[in-house]
Amino acid sequence: MTEYFTSSLIILPLFLALISAFSYNRTLRYVLAYLTLTSLTVMSILTFIRAQGVIITLDYPSQVGLIITTLDMLLLLYFLYVGIKKRHVLVVILAFLQVIPLIHLETVIHEVRASPTFLIDPLSATMCLIICIIGSLIVVYSLSYMEEHEKHLHLKKTRQPRFLFFMILFLAAMNGVVISNNLYWLYFFWEVTTFCCYQLIRHDLTEQSEKNALLALWVGLIGGVAFIGSMYLGVYYVYSLSIAEILRAKASVYIPLTLALLSLAAFTKSAQIPFQSWLLGAMIAPTPVSALLHSSTMVKAGVYLILRMTPAMSNFPALSYCIAAVGGLSFLSASVLAINQRESKKVLAYSTISNLGLIILCAGINTPLALMAAMFLLIFHAISKGLLFLGAGVIENRVLTRNIEHWEGMLGKYPLSAMVMLLGMVMMYLPPFGMLIGKWLTIESASSLKAISIPLVLILSIGGATTTFFWSKWMGCMLTHPPALFELKPEKIPFSYKLSMLTMVGIDVALSIFAGLVAAIIDLALKVLRGEAPVPYSLLGIFTDMGSFLTIPLILSFLVAIVLALVIARLRGGSMAPPYLCGENVSRDPYSFISTVDKPVKFDVSNLYFDRSLGSPSVNKTLTLIGMILLAFMFSLVVI
Amino acid sequence: MSLRGKAAVKSPWILHVNCGSCNGCDIEILAALTPRFDVERFGMLHMGNPKHADVLLVTGPANRRNAKVLKNLYEQTPEPKVVVAVGTCASTGGVFYNCPNVLGGIDEVIPVDVYIPGCAARPEAIIDGVILALKKLAKGAE
Amino acid sequence: MFERIILSLIFLTTSPILGGILRGMDRKLTARFQNRIGPPIIQPFYDVIKLWSKKPIISSNLQPVFAGLYSLLSLIALALVIFGQDLLMAVFTLSSADVSMILGSYSIRSPYSYVGARRELIQVLTSEPLLVLTSVGFYFATGSFGVSEILGLGKPLILSLPGFFIAFLMALPIEARKSPFDISASHHAHQEIVRGVFTEFSGYSLALIEIGHWIKLILFLSILGLFFPNNLLFGAVIAFLSYFLTIMVDNIFPRLTWSAMLKGVWTISLILISLNLISLFGGVLG
């Protein structure tokens, strides 16, 4: 009976989404959002607890499969319709490339094994936790955000029901992706996420958003075609569409090709090089969309798929290292390009690509320690990046600009939101928080590969330094303020903002403090995945045979340092003085100095963006070319 | 002398302000900072920033334009501090006394602790004057 | 075991004093290079006491907090190394100390402070990969990231990690703000950006930053000494000689622009490190 309970992870949000489509009443929307939050949180926690040490399986009869097939066909026909209506050749071609083979596949599919339909192991359960909790917090956030957004756009009739429908539907689809073991069902849910992504990016119906939505659509459809390819291989060479069976199949020449095709799909979904442009274009969508789809959840589907494949990848080290190379290239290049971005959401987008590349790099390295690193990065990135997008959305709705140079001194103007963003940025790359622990684990695991380690550690060290660069730069810009204009006024923000953002901060901090416990839980998940015991854990920290990270002592000493610094500053204090401007300060205007003819002149402070080397459009084109060459190399490796 | 006083005397950091002098005294101050006279053996360091300075070495007469600047720099210098007027112009206005726009010596604008006469003041005299000011600095630190 | 903890504790608590004396020796040596007498060796202590007793002037409420964090986090990083913990963890803690100072000087809307903070970021960008790669190098040569394990092995690491040693030597002038890498605080050329990162710090904030410098100096010299775990005394001598070399280079060479520093240091050190790594795995070096 409890097994059927787990399919409610999909059915319940689907049901809530359908009601949301008609929720023109504001109270109804609030009720639905909070209902989503509570119900999904409870269900995912229950599932998680249930899945510790036990694999939950659920098998549906083939009649239910028929419903899925019908829905899938309808979806593909809709994509065809979109492509024809918007005259987008690629969408039409890619949709056809899926419809025709699928019709053929239908004729053979009932001869093929595909059970169990759903399989929840600790990896799926962890992903479920992230999707349900973080996802529904973002849905709650979107209530206030969309109200403010529509006020700015002066919309006469609210379009929030449509928005809410697609957001909650997306949660259902993501749950489906992570619990499906039937490759066809996974492919269907995958396409539903592409569909939601398309609808949500074009939500504002401007010309630019339509264009970017189509870009996201056809890149996603490439993944769909790759899935069809892998399904064919599964049907004809393993006689099974069960992912577990395909991964366990005898190492024949078709398995690496299947793995390569699935990784291709994963790369498109996670916006790795050469597929990075759709994510950058998707930033035009409203911020909750960016938070949910493009940082915390949908892009995680790609890395989830690669993590799922890691047991099979260990039989094909060349392919593994190719996947690691794609991840490493994305990590380094996105981290360097983020330095050049002035738009807040673009910086966050590049940082997302970079961190996803890091996770894929770890998955490609495929040692137990590296997989532990990948899981750490996955969990903490989902929380921190979601938090950053939420904070960026709040500030953007108030200052009406995304240019980070104009976010100067935010700490004084909007203390709570700015503090949340600053905390989020600190949690992205500084000790003692979880992302840094993940980076530490990555470097330690990447060093253990003998000669292959050389390019890996070079990429990791340079990429890490450039990451520090662009985050510190942005943090500093937000902190810049003239003296005596810094009185922290209490900031009034809606409750849904406070709930979502502060809960996420709390989760991140708590998980970082108990990183040892997190490592233990991941340990269990990986055991089930590989049947091995990676890392001894204790609550005090993470201990490997190469080194140790003492999380609790480090956090305690950081806490003592912060308190001590605050106490010293409080005790000694100091009187406010204007900054040094060669004696030419203007008395009541901290933004000017007295220049020639005794006239006050405004001065600007601005940051480094390296426009000359990083700003030209040929950089992106070169990157895409390198990515395509790398993919071509990877496929030629598996085919030969 | 207490520890604070001793430290103040042993580590006087200098800010050199030119208030419109002919540069003669400035050249002599720079000469005093060179290895030939080696003021660093007294712990004196030339800082370009009033927030880091203890001793303000001012040259040139005070005039209406730089009175604001001088006051601004004086206020940005944290206590304890001493002001040393270098040269006749800084002390009394020198050859520019009573000229249009000239207010006189810099004591018209900020309180001065030590006057070093001379046109231009010699480096030895400048060093002597600063050391004289240090005694006042020590008293101010305690 | 217990005496080891006591010894480490003594080393940790005396490290600021040791660092201060080293800085005093630095100024004395510089003076001697320039054919003058120079200040007494305990001059830095006079400086810090004087700074601490100045009446506080601040330009932003956050500024003294970041200054305090800079020295305290450097102390944590040094403690991690002295108590034999993971070297990579210490490197990341050190970079958080650097970031806190950068944020401290960003937090004031002053052009000199801002430009200094930008340049300090470039300095951190240049030296952080070198520090991370040095930790990795220690792992490759000894099989562990932990300082106590590296010490316990007792192999003379300089023989297997010469490229890393030279690359790390390039990180030392960056940290100590010595030419040719004296770009963010313009220590010697005051008039370029006044005092750069340190422009708006005064009084006790500046004293805290100065103490932080001393601690960081000892940390860097400890890592240099770690290249000689078989004979720590010899390692200390080499570390001191490296510092002497840095001072000499400071007096001979002009300052580079930040782009020259970034390109130059990355090219040279990454080539050296790659060659070292390749020869490590090729079995050429120990």
User: Which distant-in-sequence residues (6+ apart) come within 8 Å of B48 by Cβ?
Assistant: B15, C190, C191, C194, C195
Contact A549/C89, CB-based, under 8 Å?
yes
CA dist., res. A301 & res. A180, Å (int) = 12
**pLDDT at B135 (0 to 100):** 86
Rg (CA), chain C: 19
> In this complex, which of C53, C195, C203 lies closest to B49 when CB atoms are compared?
C195
> In this complex, which of C62, C126, C146 lies closest to A548 when CB atoms are compared?
C146
**Highest mean pLDDT out of A46-50, A300-304, A368-372, A505-509:** A300-304
**pLDDT at A251 (0 to 100):** 66
CA atoms within 13 A on the CB side of B112: 24
In angstroms, the Cα distances linking A42 to A45, A250, A355 are: 5, 39, 29
Please say whether the beta carbons of A374 and A359 come within 8 A. yes
Contacts of C194 in chain A (CB under 8 A): 580
**pLDDT at A532 (0 to 100):** 62
Contacts of C86 in chain A (CB under 8 A): 440, 547-550
In angstroms, the Cα distances linking A281 to A82, A241, A528, C38 are: 19, 34, 38, 61
Contacts of C49 in chain B (CB under 8 A): 3-4, 7, 11
**pLDDT at C283 (0 to 100):** 67
**Mean pLDDT, residues A304-309 taken together:** 92
Position A181 pLDDT exceeds 70: yes
User: Which distant-in-sequence residues (6+ apart) come within 8 Å of A256 by Cβ?
Assistant: A316, A319, A638
What's the token pair of residue A509?
């901090």
**b/e per residue, C165-189, with b = 16+ CB within 10 A?**
bebbbbbbbbbbbbbbbbbbbbbee
The complex scores an ipTM of 0.93
Give the model's confidence band at A96: pLDDT under 50 very low, under 70 low, under 90 confident, else very high.
confident
3-state SS, A179-208, equals: HECEHHHHHHHHHHHHHHHHHHHCCCCCHH
Please say whether the beta carbons of A131 and A301 come within 8 A. no
> In this complex, which of C58, C86, C278 lies closest to A576 when CB atoms are compared?
C58
Count how many domains chain A has.
Answer: 2
Helix C87-106 × helix C63-82 angle, to 10°: 170
Rg (CA), chain A: 25
Q: What is the mean pLDDT of chain B?
A: 90
Please say whether the beta carbons of A510 and A151 come within 8 A. no
**Which residue type occupies A500?**
S
Please say whether the beta carbons of A439 and A378 come within 8 A. no
CA dist., res. B96 & res. A591, Å (int) = 35
Terminal Cα distance for chain B, rounded = 9
Q: CA-nearest residue of chain B to A575?
A: B78
pLDDT tens sequence across A436-478: 999 999 999 898 887 788 899 999 999 999 999 999 999 998 8
Contact A565/C68, CB-based, under 8 Å?
yes
Contacts of B10 in chain C (CB under 8 A): 43, 46, 50
Percent of chain A with pLDDT over 90: 30
Between vectors from CA A193 to CA A189 and to CA A199, what angle results, nearest 5°? 140
**Among residues B66, B75, B74, which one has the least CA distance to residue B103?**
B66
pLDDT tens sequence across A136-180: 999 999 988 998 888 888 888 888 889 999 999 999 999 999 998
**Which residue type occupies A588?**
R
Determine the 3-state secondary structure of A121 from DSSP: coil
**pLDDT at A488 (0 to 100):** 62
Contacts of B76 in chain A (CB under 8 A): 577-578, 580, 583
Please say whether the beta carbons of B70 and B58 come within 8 A. yes
Contact B11/C53, CB-based, under 8 Å?
no
What's the token pair of residue C14?
């005396």
Contact C200/B51, CB-based, under 8 Å?
yes
Please check whether residue A78 lies inside any domain of the structure.
Answer: no
Position B82 pLDDT exceeds 80: yes
**Mean pLDDT, residues A227-234 taken together:** 88
Contacts of B58 in chain A (CB under 8 A): none
Chains linked to C by 3 or more Cβ pairs within 8 Å: A, B
**Distance of residue C63 Cα from the nearest chain B Cα, in angstroms:** 14
Q: Which of B18, B72, B73 to mutate to test the interface with A (most CBs of A within 10 A)?
A: B72
Residue position matching structure tokens 């004729």: A107
**Distance of residue A371 Cα from the nearest chain C Cα, in angstroms:** 19
In angstroms, the Cα distances linking B74 to A497, A581, B79, C152, C277 are: 47, 13, 10, 57, 56
Which of A181, A204, A225 terminates a domain? The answer is A181
Residue position matching structure tokens 């020449």: A253
Position A237 pLDDT exceeds 90: no
Q: Which residues pair with B84 in a beta bridge?
A: B57, B114
Is C262 in the A-facing interface, judged by CB distances under 8 Å?
no
**Mean pLDDT, residues A207-236 taken together:** 90
Give the model's confidence band at A510: pLDDT under 50 very low, under 70 low, under 90 confident, else very high.
confident
Residue position matching structure tokens 């490339």: A97
**pLDDT at C92 (0 to 100):** 95
**Mean pLDDT, residues A324-339 taken together:** 93
Contact A580/B49, CB-based, under 8 Å?
yes
> In this complex, which of A583, A594, A598 lies closest to B73 when CB atoms are compared?
A583
Is A483 in the B-facing interface, judged by CB distances under 8 Å?
no
CA dihedral over A84, A85, A91, A97, signed as positive or negative: negative
Strand B102-104 versus strand B62-63 pairing type: antiparallel
**Which residue type occupies A89?**
V
DSSP for B4-47?
HHHHHHH--EEEEEESS--SHHHHHHHHHHSTTT-GGGGT-EE-
**pLDDT at B74 (0 to 100):** 93
CA dihedral over A387, A390, A396, A399, signed as positive or negative: negative
CA dist., res. A224 & res. A98, Å (int) = 7
Domain with A27 in it: 1-59+116-181
CA dist., res. A141 & res. A133, Å (int) = 12
Which of A181, A211, A231 terminates a domain? The answer is A181
Residues of chain C with pLDDT under 70: 188-191, 283-286
Please check whether residue A290 lies inside any domain of the structure.
Answer: no
Indicate whether A171 and A320 sit together in one domain.
no
Helix B3-10 × helix C43-52 angle, to 10°: 120
> In this complex, which of C55, C109, C124 lies closest to A481 when CB atoms are compared?
C109
Percent of chain A with pLDDT over 70: 96
Terminal Cα distance for chain C, rounded = 30
> In this complex, which of C35, C36, C195 lies closest to B52 when CB atoms are compared?
C195
CA dist., res. A289 & res. A295, Å (int) = 9
In angstroms, the Cα distances linking C111 to A592, A603, A605, C114, C180 are: 11, 8, 6, 5, 23
Please check whether residue A279 lies inside any domain of the structure.
Answer: no
Contact A577/B70, CB-based, under 8 Å?
no
User: Which distant-in-sequence residues (6+ apart) come within 8 Å of C47 by Cβ?
Assistant: B7, B11, B43, C210
Contact B43/C54, CB-based, under 8 Å?
no
Alpha helices in A414-546 (DSSP H): 415-429, 434-446, 453-479, 495-513, 515-530
Give the model's confidence band at A406: pLDDT under 50 very low, under 70 low, under 90 confident, else very high.
confident
Strand order in the sheet with A548-549: A537-538, A541-543, A548-549
CA dist., res. C212 & res. C97, Å (int) = 9
Please check whether residue A486 lies inside any domain of the structure.
Answer: yes
CA dist., res. A292 & res. A190, Å (int) = 15
Indicate whether A20 and A165 sit together in one domain.
yes
Please check whether residue A75 lies inside any domain of the structure.
Answer: no
Which of A160, A181, A202 terminates a domain? The answer is A181
> In this complex, which of C111, C130, C204 lies closest to A572 when CB atoms are compared?
C204
CA dist., res. B109 & res. A170, Å (int) = 71
Q: Which of B51, B56, B75 to mutate to test the interface with C (most CBs of C within 10 A)?
A: B51
Between vectors from CA C187 to CA C186 and to CA C189, what angle results, nearest 5°? 60
Residues on chain B bordering chain A, Cβ-to-Cβ distance under 8 angstroms: 49-51, 65-66, 68-70, 72-73, 75-76
User: Which distant-in-sequence residues (6+ apart) come within 8 Å of A611 by Cβ?
Assistant: A340
Say which DSSP state A580 is in.
Answer: P
Please check whether residue A93 lies inside any domain of the structure.
Answer: no
**Distance of residue A130 Cα from the nearest chain C Cα, in angstroms:** 27
**Distance of residue C95 Cα from the nearest chain B Cα, in angstroms:** 26
Indicate the burial class of A218 (C-beta count within 10 angstroms; 0-12, 13-18, 19 or more): buried
Please check whether residue A607 lies inside any domain of the structure.
Answer: no
Contact C109/A450, CB-based, under 8 Å?
no
Contacts of A580 in chain C (CB under 8 A): 110, 112, 194, 199-200
* More confident position, A534 or A112: A112
